[in-house]
Amino acid sequence: DQSLLDIYSIQLTLFDVVLSVALRSIDPFVVAFRALVNRNVRCFYL
């Protein structure tokens, strides 16, 4: 039972690491997209 819990926690940690790396790799795209949206929204309101 304890070993199963260990495997689960290890998988969770690996998933966390992979997720953070993936987020870091797409971060510039997110920033650019956000800047684009902000500019469009600002133009729309002004």
Mean pLDDT of 6-15: 90
- Structure confidence at residue 45 (pLDDT): 64
- The C-alpha atoms of residue 18 and residue 15 are separated, in whole angstroms, by 5
23 confidence band (pLDDT: 50, 70, 90): confident
- The whole-model pTM stands at 0.45
Q: Where exactly are the structural domains of the chain?
A: 1-46
* pLDDT tens-digit series, residues 28-42: 888 888 888 888 777
What residue has token string 């993936």?
22
- Structure confidence at residue 18 (pLDDT): 92
CA angle 12, 13, 18 (to 5 degrees): 100
Q: How is residue 46 written in tokens?
A: 């002004």
